[in-house]
């Protein structure tokens, strides 16, 4: 007899009919779940205190007068009625647009050459490495170099034909240099995601190369181009280093914040400018976020990677283009290094190490380099730990409810906040006499925390990607085996994700080594960082020591990257033996 079971059991069947069976009861939390939620709450509290609260404080300052009375939009109205202030908005926007118009197409061609041409693979690797060098340099470096090339005593000043490099031209050139690798990385990713079979199909239909480019290549890079443009635009609007050095009297928003707050102690207008700086960041951040999702969805699991066919003319032209770009990029970094090694441009070109001696030993900012090293090292270690633990907990804990979206939102919000705005928020929030965390102000700790928070998003996304790649059921399996999740975390999850964790650490090191905008509001003479010192030296006319310090930052990051990759190679062959073993 078959037994239909969707009727409820007959009354009288034991243990089947207690009314409690239908009562809704909450699942009791186990010790594991309490620990997971506790740690996650701690990470969220950190992001709240060091990201959300400072932002809210800026907003509060923007709508209050000096005595804390609410004045509504009065400061905004004042701001928009002051033509000199308003001009900075326009300047920031058109300069950023100009940089997008140069940097993105150049990066597009470069990325096209790297992914779609038949240049020798070794040459591609070299081009790529050279193109990524600007990532390691503080944004001041390019500005200093352009001053040396095209400034009042510039080697190539005659090329400008009377136009001064100080102002918009200098900012645009420096920012093109600074943003080029950012745009390049996004576009290379976008182009390597194209399904090679589309081209095979096009070829089978005898589509001409130009039409292939217009109908397949461009559309498939659409999101990459949008994403690269927004990233570049935001970078330029919020960058402080280059306009400070080479901007002259050309006012832009980022320098305005600095002037208002540090120069005139006008916190209200500073807050208004801070809020304005936040606008393009948040807009482009939203665009970028939406677009990146589409970019990911574009590639199906069955896509076939595109493998380029040799085209003699096109390949040669692309090679020449890449070589020219790399030569220009090297000329910038080269000029900075050269300046740091000669006595005085252009009068005494004799070799000397005195600038290094001055920057590291004799200057009253001599502690800057070691401070930067310490901050970068601590940020790398603490940052990768916090970020990975946070990402792990929101990815692998069940039933988090509202905690998951809240944490995720804070984690990605950090990318939308320019360092300058974050630093401003810290000044206003932690400097407040009533803040119990005020003791942190003017310490190395707050510098480290600001770096971790400022660069949280990319690291978080890297960690999430790595975590998504490992099996989702590890936690379920260990629970069924009665093994606490913490043990599985350290014994399995961390070792499996080690490459990603190491990547995050290196990223934190490199970016905090060169970061200026966040620290500019937070340093003291004791905790001054190298990038801040470069700015002051440049202000004081000590171009040589400034160039020396900037070169040191680049060299340090290069050395760290090399040591890092050697170390990780050793570490990975020790701990990741299982990865290399195929099926026997």
Partner 1 sequence: MDMTDTKFIASPVPAGACAALEIAGVRKDFESFSALRDIHLRVNPGEMLCFLGPSGCGKTTLLRIIAGLETQTSGQILQNGKDVSWLPPERRDYGIVFQSYALFPNLTIADNVGYGLVNSRARRAQIKARVSELLTLVGLPTSAHKYPSQLSGGQQQRVALARALATRPGLLLLDEPLSALDALERIRLRGEIRRLQKQVGITTIMVTHDQEEALSMADRIVVMNHGVIEQVGTPMEIYEQPATPFVADFVGKVNVLRAVALGQQRFKVGDLELQCDACDGAFAPGDAVNLYLRPEDRMAENLREDTANRMSVLVSKVEFLGGLCIAEVTAQALHGQTLGLHFSLNQLHDLDIREGNTIEIALRANRIRAFAAPAARTVA
Nearest 5°: phi and psi at 451?
-65, -45
484 to 523: interface string for partner 1, x by CB under 8 A: x--xx--xx--xx---------------------------
Contact of 156 with 121, CB cutoff 8 Å: no
In the complex with partner 1, which residue's Cβ is closer, 7 or 350?
Answer: 7
DSSP strands (E only) in 236-393: 342-344, 348-351
In the complex with partner 1, which residue's Cβ is closer, 25 or 152?
Answer: 25
- Going from the C-alpha of 436 to that of each of 36, 47, 301, 430, 446, the distances in angstroms are 27, 17, 52, 8, 14
Q: How far is the CB of 32 from partner 1 (least distance, A)?
A: 7
Which of 126, 374, 474, 499 is close enough to bind partner 1 by CB under 8 A? 474
Q: For the beta carbon of residue 501, count every other beta carbon within 10 angstroms.
A: 20
Contact of 509 with 561, CB cutoff 8 Å: no
Structure tokens at 317: 């032209």
In the complex with partner 1, which residue's Cβ is closer, 17 or 298?
Answer: 17
**570 touches partner 1 by CB under 8 A:** no
Q: How far is the CB of 118 from partner 1 (least distance, A)?
A: 34
Please give, one letter per residue, the 3-state secondary structure of 71-98: CCCHHHHHHHHCHHHHHHHHHHHHHHHH
Which span sits near partner 1 by CB under 8 A: 4-12, 57-65, 273-281, 436-444?
4-12
Contact of 518 with 528, CB cutoff 8 Å: no
**476 touches partner 1 by CB under 8 A:** yes
Which of 178, 284, 379, 478 is close enough to bind partner 1 by CB under 8 A? 478
In the complex with partner 1, which residue's Cβ is closer, 3 or 307?
Answer: 3
Q: How far is the CB of 460 from partner 1 (least distance, A)?
A: 23
In the complex with partner 1, which residue's Cβ is closer, 205 or 580?
Answer: 580
Which of 152, 307, 350, 480 is close enough to bind partner 1 by CB under 8 A? 480
Site for partner 1 in 5-34 (CB under 8 A): 5-10, 12-18, 20-30, 32-33
Site for partner 1 in 370-409 (CB under 8 A): 398-399
Q: How far is the CB of 384 from partner 1 (least distance, A)?
A: 19
DSSP 440-501: GTTSHHHHHHHHHHHTHHHHHHHHHHHHHHS-TTHHHHHHHTT--HHHHIIIIIHHHHHHHH
Q: For the beta carbon of residue 563, count every other beta carbon within 10 angstroms.
A: 10
Q: For the beta carbon of residue 101, count every other beta carbon within 10 angstroms.
A: 14
Contact of 407 with 394, CB cutoff 8 Å: yes
Q: How far is the CB of 575 from partner 1 (least distance, A)?
A: 7
**471 touches partner 1 by CB under 8 A:** yes
Contact of 518 with 446, CB cutoff 8 Å: no
Which of 98, 202, 467, 481 is close enough to bind partner 1 by CB under 8 A? 481
Q: How far is the CB of 483 from partner 1 (least distance, A)?
A: 5
Which span sits near partner 1 by CB under 8 A: 196-204, 205-213, 331-339, 573-581?
573-581
- 442: Cβ–Cβ under 8 A, 6 or more apart, which residues? 522, 524, 527
In the complex with partner 1, which residue's Cβ is closer, 12 or 433?
Answer: 12
Which of 41, 479, 571, 572 is close enough to bind partner 1 by CB under 8 A? 479
DSSP 86-133: HHHHHHHHHHHHHHHHHHHHHHHHHHHHHHHS---HHHHHHHHHHHHG
| Angle in degrees, 0-180, between the axes of helices 456-469 and 494-514, rounded to the nearest 10 | 160
Q: For the beta carbon of residue 68, count every other beta carbon within 10 angstroms.
A: 9
Which of 155, 366, 483, 571 is close enough to bind partner 1 by CB under 8 A? 483
In the complex with partner 1, which residue's Cβ is closer, 467 or 518?
Answer: 467
In the complex with partner 1, which residue's Cβ is closer, 106 or 500?
Answer: 500
Q: For the beta carbon of residue 19, count every other beta carbon within 10 angstroms.
A: 6
Structure tokens at 583: 């099926």
Q: How far is the CB of 404 from partner 1 (least distance, A)?
A: 15
Q: How far is the CB of 563 from partner 1 (least distance, A)?
A: 25
Report the distance separating Cα 70 and Cα 73, nearest Å.
9
In the complex with partner 1, which residue's Cβ is closer, 1 or 210?
Answer: 1
Q: How far is the CB of 16 from partner 1 (least distance, A)?
A: 5
Report the distance separating Cα 361 and Cα 10, nearest Å.
90
**351 touches partner 1 by CB under 8 A:** no
Contact of 212 with 116, CB cutoff 8 Å: no
Report the distance separating Cα 22 and Cα 25, nearest Å.
9
Report the distance separating Cα 217 and Cα 409, nearest Å.
33
In the complex with partner 1, which residue's Cβ is closer, 86 or 477?
Answer: 477
307 to 346: interface string for partner 1, x by CB under 8 A: ----------------------------------------
In the complex with partner 1, which residue's Cβ is closer, 434 or 577?
Answer: 577
Q: How far is the CB of 464 from partner 1 (least distance, A)?
A: 19
Count the residues of the shown chain that bind partner 1, applying the rule CB under 8 A: 61
In the complex with partner 1, which residue's Cβ is closer, 284 or 478?
Answer: 478
Q: How far is the CB of 580 from partner 1 (least distance, A)?
A: 9
Site for partner 1 in 190-229 (CB under 8 A): none
In the complex with partner 1, which residue's Cβ is closer, 23 or 206?
Answer: 23
**301 touches partner 1 by CB under 8 A:** no
DSSP category for residue 22: G
Which residues contact partner 1 by CB under 8 A? 1-10, 12-18, 20-30, 32-33, 398-399, 470-474, 476-484, 487-488, 491-492, 495-496, 575-579, 581-584
């Amino acid at each position: 007899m078959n037994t239909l079971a969707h009727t409820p059991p007959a009354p009288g069947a034991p243990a089947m009919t207690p009314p409690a069976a239908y009562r809704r009861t909450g699942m009791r939390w186990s010790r594991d779940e309490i620990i997971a939620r506790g740690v996650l709450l701690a990470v969220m509290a950190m992001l709240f205190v060091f990201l959300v609260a400072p932002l809210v404080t800026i907003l509060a300052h923007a709508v209050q007068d000096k005595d804390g009375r609410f004045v509504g939009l009065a400061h905004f109205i004042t701001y928009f009625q002051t033509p000199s202030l308003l001009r900075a908005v326009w300047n920031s926007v058109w300069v950023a647009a100009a940089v997008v118009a140069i940097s993105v197409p150049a990066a597009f061609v470069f990325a096209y050459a790297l992914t779609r041409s038949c240049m020798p693979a070794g040459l591609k690797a070299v081009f790529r490495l050279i193109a990524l060098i600007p990532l390691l340099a503080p944004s001041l470096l390019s500005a200093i170099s352009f001053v040396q090339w095209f400034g009042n005593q510039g080697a190539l000043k005659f090329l400008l034909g009377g136009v001064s490099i100080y102002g918009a031209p200098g900012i645009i050139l420096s920012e093109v240099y600074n943003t080029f690798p950012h745009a390049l990385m996004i576009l290379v990713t976008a182009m390597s995601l194209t399904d090679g079979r589309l081209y095979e199909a096009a070829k089978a239909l005898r589509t001409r190369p130009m039409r292939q480019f217009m109908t397949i290549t461009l559309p498939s890079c659409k999101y990459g181009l949008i994403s690269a443009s927004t990233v570049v635009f935001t970078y330029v609007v919020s960058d402080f280093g280059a306009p400070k050095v080479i901007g002259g009297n050309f006012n832009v928003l980022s320098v305005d914040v600095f002037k208002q707050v540090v120069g005139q102690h006008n916190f209200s207008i500073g807050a208004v400018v801070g809020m304005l700086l936040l606008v393009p960041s948040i807009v482009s951040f939203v665009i970028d976020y939406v677009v990146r999702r589409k970019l990911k969805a574009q590639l199906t699991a069955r896509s076939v990677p595109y493998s380029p066919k040799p085209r003699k003319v096109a390949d040669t032209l692309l090679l020449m283009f890449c070589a020219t770009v790399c030569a220009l990029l090297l000329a910038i970094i080269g000029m900075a290094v050269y300046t740091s090694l000669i006595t005085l441009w252009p009068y005494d070109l004799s070799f000397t190490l005195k600038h290094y001696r001055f920057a590291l030993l004799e200057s009253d900012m001599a502690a800057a380099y070691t401070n930067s090293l310490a901050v970068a090292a601590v940020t790398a270690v603490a940052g990768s730990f916090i970020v990975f633990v946070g990402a792990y907990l929101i990815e692998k804990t069940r039933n988090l409810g509202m905690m998951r979206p809240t944490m995720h939102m804070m984690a990605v919000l950090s990318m939308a906040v320019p360092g300058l705005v974050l630093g401003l928020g810290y000044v206003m929030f932690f400097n407040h006499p009533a803040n119990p965390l005020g003791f942190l102000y003017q310490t190395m700790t707050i510098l480290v925390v600001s770096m971790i928070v400022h660069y949280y998003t990319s690291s978080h996304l890297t960690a999430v990607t790595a975590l998504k790649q490992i099996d989702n059921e590890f936690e379920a399996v260990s629970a069924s085996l009665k093994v606490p999740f913490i043990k599985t975390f350290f014994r399995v999850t961390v070792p499996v994700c080690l490459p990603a964790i190491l990547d995050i650490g290196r990223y934190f090191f490199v970016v905090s080594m060169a970061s200026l905008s966040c620290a500019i509001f937070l340093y003291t003479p004791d905790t001054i960082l190298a990038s801040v010192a470069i700015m002051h030296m440049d202000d004081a006319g000590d171009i040589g020591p400034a160039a020396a310090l900037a070169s040191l930052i680049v060299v340090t990051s290069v050395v760290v990257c090399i040591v890092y990759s050697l170390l990780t190679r050793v570490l990975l062959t020790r701990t990741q033996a299982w990865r290399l073993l195929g099926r026997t």
